[in-house]
């Protein structure tokens, strides 16, 4: 039998080792002479574990890395909940899913470059385990101290430790990420690559739900995630906004996860004609596909915001306890902040003020913003 090294390109980025590559499966081509042969020139490890929205908005670095290092084979280490957001991305060659263990690949392999934009010790430890001669972002020292490797990384570390510094910040996450990872250019918008089957699944849902065509569809993402419950807008605000949009000829699509299931059922019942429920138990990629049906999205500072930006949908984003400055809507949408408060961007998980910042966002302001972006 011939030596496999004489039959296959072991340096091709499409090599899967334990099974044939997709081009062999789809087109029947063989490795030697394959028109899709893409030799790896630079092996990069990117460690970005959480949160899901942050993982998604970090995908904007991928085109920058491909331009800086043509022929990159990119391995992304991430948490289980975020892994689906990276699937089907043409510039993510391998996803290493980790809970609290070290993927064995990191112990065995060498990389040309290791990137870690997060200062949490576990992420920094993974970046330190990855064998390489070049690192950017953060590593973990022998004494357990997180070590920033650039001026931008030092500044970002300080902001993560001091809410007062965080509140004063005026730069977007993309600007910060460029400095932390010492990138030659600013990262772009988040990228999510849905499959045609996933998009068709959303279209089937629309037909089954009888959401009319020819009318603008406005998505209302009613949740805010469990870590920052204060980011959630009021039930009454969503209900009045939905009713007024429906009265103006729009369809309203209620979006959320399991925590919003009862809330959205109640909104559906009280909202009446023109309200539709996207479901609250959808896998994240199906959730993204249904969100992608919308013409405008109203949401707080949560994963849905980044999914909307990735889909190119105008987003009306509602902010209170977290930073609006860090969010870039890339020219599509508006940020709504309550007026007359000096405690915005407090990063508190609880607030005793009545009314609080999110209570003070009026339906009139949100409705006016939505109308400016309707097709």
| Long-range Cβ pairs for the range 345-349 (8 Å, 24+) | 345/166, 345/167, 345/319, 345/321, 346/163, 346/167, 346/321, 347/163, 347/166, 347/167, 347/321, 347/322, 348/230, 348/321, 349/227, 349/228, 349/229, 349/230
Q: Does the pLDDT value for residue 306 go beyond 80?
A: yes
- Compute the Cα dihedral for 74, 79, 83, 86 and give only its sign: negative
- For the residues of 89-133, what is the DSSP string, one character each? -TT--EEEE-SSSPPHHHHH-EESEEEE---SHHHHHHHHHSEES
With a cut of 90, say whether residue 259 has pLDDT above it. Answer: yes
Q: What CATH superfamily classification does 40-180 receive?
A: Glycogen Phosphorylase B; (3.40.50.2000)
pLDDT tens for each residue of 70-110: 999 999 999 999 999 999 999 999 999 998 889 999 999 99
Q: What is the pLDDT of residue 342?
A: 78
Average pLDDT, the chain: 94
Check for a shared fold between 40-180 and 196-373.
yes
- Can you name the CATH fold of 196-373? Rossmann fold (3.40.50)
Residue spans of the domains in the chain: they are 1-32, 40-180, 196-373
Provide mean pLDDT across the span 146-171. 95
pTM of the predicted model as reported, rounded to 2 decimal places: 0.94
Percent of the chain at pLDDT above 90? 84
pLDDT (tens digit, 9 = 90+) per residue, 263-276?
999 999 999 999 99
């Amino acid at each position: 039998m011939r030596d496999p090294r004489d039959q296959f390109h072991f340096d091709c980025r499409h090599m899967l080792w334990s099974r044939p590559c997709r081009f062999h499966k789809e087109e029947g081509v063989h490795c030697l002479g394959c028109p899709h042969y893409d030799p790896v020139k630079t092996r990069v490890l990117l460690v970005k574990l959480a949160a899901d929205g942050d993982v998604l908005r970090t995908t904007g670095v991928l085109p920058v890395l491909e331009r800086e290092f043509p022929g990159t084979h990119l391995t992304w280490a991430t948490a289980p909940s975020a892994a689906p957001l990276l699937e089907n991305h043409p510039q993510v060659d391998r996803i290493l899913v980790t809970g609290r263990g070290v993927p064995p690949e990191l112990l065995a392999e060498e990389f040309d470059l290791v990137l870690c934009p997060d200062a949490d010790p576990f992420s920094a430890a993974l970046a330190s385990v990855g064998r390489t001669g070049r690192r950017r972002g953060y590593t973990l020292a022998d004494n357990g101290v997180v070590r920033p490797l650039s001026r931008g990384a030092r500044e970002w570390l300080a902001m993560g430790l001091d809410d007062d510094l965080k509140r004063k910040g005026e730069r977007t996450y993309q600007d910060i990420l460029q400095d932390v990872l010492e990138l030659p250019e600013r990262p772009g918008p988040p990228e999510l690559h849905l499959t045609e089957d996933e998009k068709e699944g959303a279209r089937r849902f629309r037909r089954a739900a009888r959401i009319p065509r020819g009318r603008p569809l406005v998505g209302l993402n009613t949740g805010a995630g469990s870590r920052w419950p204060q980011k959630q807008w009021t039930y009454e605000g969503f209900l009045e906004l939905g009713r007024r949009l429906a009265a103006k000829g729009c369809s309203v699509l209620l979006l959320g996860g399991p925590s919003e299931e009862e809330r959205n059922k109640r909104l559906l019942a009280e909202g009446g004609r023109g309200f539709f429920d996207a479901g609250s138990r959808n896998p994240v990629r199906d959730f993204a596909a249904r969100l992608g049906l919308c013409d405008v999205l109203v949401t707080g500072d949560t994963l849905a915001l980044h999914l909307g930006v990735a889909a190119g949908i105008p987003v009306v984003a509602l902010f209170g306890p977290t930073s609006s400055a860090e969010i870039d809507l890339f020219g599509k949408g508006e940020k709504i902040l309550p007026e007359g408060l000096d405690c915005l961007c407090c990063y508190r998980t609880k607030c005793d003020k009545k009314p609080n910042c999110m209570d003070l966002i009026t339906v009139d302001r949100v409705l006016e913003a939505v109308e400016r972006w309707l097709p």
